[in-house]
Structure 1
Amino acid sequence: MLRQLPGGESNESWLLAWGEHRLVLRLDGLDPAAPGLDRAEEHALQGAAAAAGLAPPPRFGCADFLVSDYLDEDGTGPDPADAAARARLLRAIHALKVRARRLAPAAYLETCEARAGAIPRALPALARKQLAALAAPGDAPVLCHNDLTAGNCLRHRGRLLAIDWEYAALGSRWLDLARTAGDSSAAVEAYLARPPSRDEQRALTGARALLPYLDALWYSLHGRGDAVDWTAVTRALETADAGSQQ
């Protein structure tokens, strides 16, 4: 074991040496049975993405750790801080054809709400209204990374790659895109290769409103509820609800 690697809000990552090979050991800081996690599937889906040149190859995984190839962050290729570059990577991920469990937003919300403890009473109903907006016509579940932030990307040999696949599953492209693109219209257009339609914009608006609530539930589930600003979460959902009624 050579040194601990920076980053990682929930887990620890360590650089390992094995002969001439360099590997990354990810040690769980989360309960592997937490909602949304499936370590065996994480390994398989990261492997599928690696085969397509979109992620570092995984080598071995089990319930509480994962070993992957270590790829140098060499500074070449798209900037992870560029939301449009991440959106183009996300489009490639969504295009992968894989067999995987479906992480349905409604079922995930119900599980998290049941375990999270005290939350403001109005929020579950407000969140369900935004869930209805996610289903743009013609949509089908796609392979989602579900956390493609700048911190979960690296530049290697001219390409942008995705790391930290622990929440990967089939799901809503709009939730995934909202996480990746934020408020960037350029990133949305980079993903779609065109401006969004009215229905797609409605789906994105609902997804953006849901993300603070999903994050609040995640923090509450993992004993960090004191970090949640429930007023801001409520405001996000109420603002989106008021906009949808206009």
Structure 2
Amino acid sequence: MAVSEAPVPPELLDLLDRVPLPGGGPRSVEELPGGLTNRNYKVVTPAGAYVVRVQASDGALLAIDRDAEHASSLAAAAAGVGAPVHAYLPELGVLVVEYLPTRAFTEADLRDPANLPRVAEACRRLHAGPRFPRDFDMFEVQRRYLEIVRERGFRLPARYLDFMPDAAKIRKCLAVRAEGTVPCNNDLLPGNILDDGERLWLIDYEYAGNNDPCFELGNIWSESALPPGHLEELVTAYYGRRLRHKIARARLLGLMSKYGWTLWAAIQDGANDAIDFDFWSWGMEKYERAVAEFTGGGLTDLMNEAARSD
């Protein structure tokens, strides 16, 4: 039986008793911060420390495939950038990975230019690893999310549909210099980047899929609302030299990140009452930044830059 360091619901303790952990049953349990579609617990046994991730929703509306998440987590561990996987119990909605003695990044860490080459190196390790079982294309994800929002009558931000023609132009522009896909995390919020003092680790593979590497870089920039110069440094560190068309490409995919994840928030706002979180405000912050980019006057120049060679 688990002994909790803080009050833990009895149903969780019962669940943990069913999870096969090295060293026997849990010795102590501590809830970890973060996670909007999972509850994460640090569980210590005589054999070591583990993170038990318990899904907080089925994820079907958000296009989360738990089997693909498990396979991608294994691939990321094989690449040397993800936590080792110890158990997967889909019938319980549980994934168990090794607890890494690290510190989670914050937006302040990503705003420190000294960390950008480290982030780029971690992304390169992941991207050079085994391919994931599925693909991720934000243009397709955004389309599916929009269908769900409209079919279910969820709230849609004002003027959201006005920018769909711009999104179509961006997609067409990016197809001109498409260079294939690599295994990407696609959701590198600061809290999904861990620092052990020497190297960085990337965690949480719910949205993992083979994707354009510039989406990974643009999404990192977008999620932390970094200055444009930081994206240029991140892209340059990733490719080893300054490539104007790659910087523009990452900018455009960072814009699509904001535009697409806005609908993720709209779906969570309308469908998820199990988690006490203001999804709508979270999404609107992204949407307002997306609108500023759509209407800021530089979109055509960015598309031209992304389509031409350096």
- Name the TM-score, length of structure 1 as normaliser: 0.86
Question: Please, which of 200, 214, 217 is the counterpart of residue 177 of structure 1?
Answer: 217
Task: Confirm or deny that 1:188 pairs with 2:215.
Answer: no
| Aligned residues of 1:136 and 1:203 also touching (Cα < 8 A) | no
Alpha carbons of 1:39 and 1:62: their partners in 2 closer, same or farther (altered >3 Å)? farther
Higher relative contact order (CA 8 A, sep 6+): 1
Corresponding residue for residue 110 of structure 1: 143
The Cα of 1:190 is off from its aligned counterpart by 0.9
Question: Please, which of 80, 85, 92 is the counterpart of residue 53 of structure 1?
Answer: 80
| Aligned residues of 1:178 and 1:207 also touching (Cα < 8 A) | yes
| Aligned residues of 1:3 and 1:15 also touching (Cα < 8 A) | yes
The Cα of 1:18 is off from its aligned counterpart by 3.1
Alpha carbons of 1:105 and 1:47: their partners in 2 closer, same or farther (altered >3 Å)? same
The alignment-based identity, stated in percent, is 24
The Cα of 1:50 is off from its aligned counterpart by 1.1
Corresponding residue for residue 301 of structure 2: 243
Matches of 2:303 and 2:188 in 1, distance apart?
31
Is the deviation greater in 224-233 or in 155-164? 224-233
Q: Helix, strand or coil: the match of 1:208?
A: helix
Specify the structure having the higher radius of gyration (Cα).
2
Structure 1: gaps of 5 or more residues: none
Structure 2: gaps of 5 or more residues: 1-27, 270-278, 305-310
Matches of 1:121 and 1:211 in 2, distance apart?
16
Matches within 5 A, 1:65-84: 65-73=94-102, 81=110, 82-84=115-117
Query: Counting helix residues as a fraction of each chain, which structure ranks higher?
Result: 2
Alpha carbons of 1:80 and 1:28: their partners in 2 closer, same or farther (altered >3 Å)? farther
Matches of 2:56 and 2:83 in 1, distance apart?
21
| Aligned residues of 2:136 and 2:210 also touching (Cα < 8 A) | yes
Corresponding residue for residue 91 of structure 1: 124
Q: How many residues align?
A: 242
The Cα of 1:140 is off from its aligned counterpart by 0.3
* Alpha-carbon RMSD: 2.5
The Cα of 1:153 is off from its aligned counterpart by 1.5
The Cα of 1:215 is off from its aligned counterpart by 2.2
After superposition, give the CA deviation of every residue in 1:191-234 in whole Å (9 maximum; x if it has no partner). Answer: 111101x4323312211221221221111111133441444432
The Cα of 1:132 is off from its aligned counterpart by 2.7
- Name the TM-score, length of structure 2 as normaliser: 0.70
Is the deviation greater in 213-222 or in 113-122? 113-122
| Aligned residues of 2:39 and 2:55 also touching (Cα < 8 A) | yes
Matches of 1:19 and 1:129 in 2, distance apart?
56
Matches of 1:191 and 1:245 in 2, distance apart?
21
After superposition, give the CA deviation of every residue in 1:20-59 in whole Å (9 maximum; x if it has no partner). Answer: 2211011223432133311111111111221222111111
The Cα of 1:17 is off from its aligned counterpart by 2.4
Q: Helix, strand or coil: the match of 1:59?
A: strand
| Aligned residues of 2:132 and 2:208 also touching (Cα < 8 A) | no
Corresponding residue for residue 179 of structure 2: 139
Matches of 2:261 and 2:214 in 1, distance apart?
16
Alpha carbons of 1:179 and 1:245: their partners in 2 closer, same or farther (altered >3 Å)? closer
One-letter amino acid of the structure 2 residue matched with residue 151 of structure 1: G
